[in-house]
Structure 1
Amino acid sequence: MSADSAEPVVQYIAAIAALGAEFTLDAPEEIVERVWDLGRRLAG
């Protein structure tokens, strides 16, 4: 994966992180954990 193709993913994860507090208020804990786990894998 090139840096160019990774950038939209990074932006997506950043958007999820920015909305994380609001998102977690509405989402079941299992879904929240899956989203954060995916984010950690993609950022990792």
Structure 2
Amino acid sequence: VGPDNDGTAHYSLTSTIMLSLTTSDKSAGSFKLSGSITRQ
């Protein structure tokens, strides 16, 4: 965020979504899945 010469300000909004999935099954074993989504 920063002011311009004419007194106006511009900003950018960034959203991040964190995903995490963990499961433990005796027949399937342990499984972990994680990731992130970023939108600007």
TM-score bucket (shorter structure): under 0.3
TM-score (norm: length of structure 1): 0.17
Structure with higher RCO (Cα < 8 A, 6+ apart): 1
Judging by fraction of residues, say which structure has more helix: 1
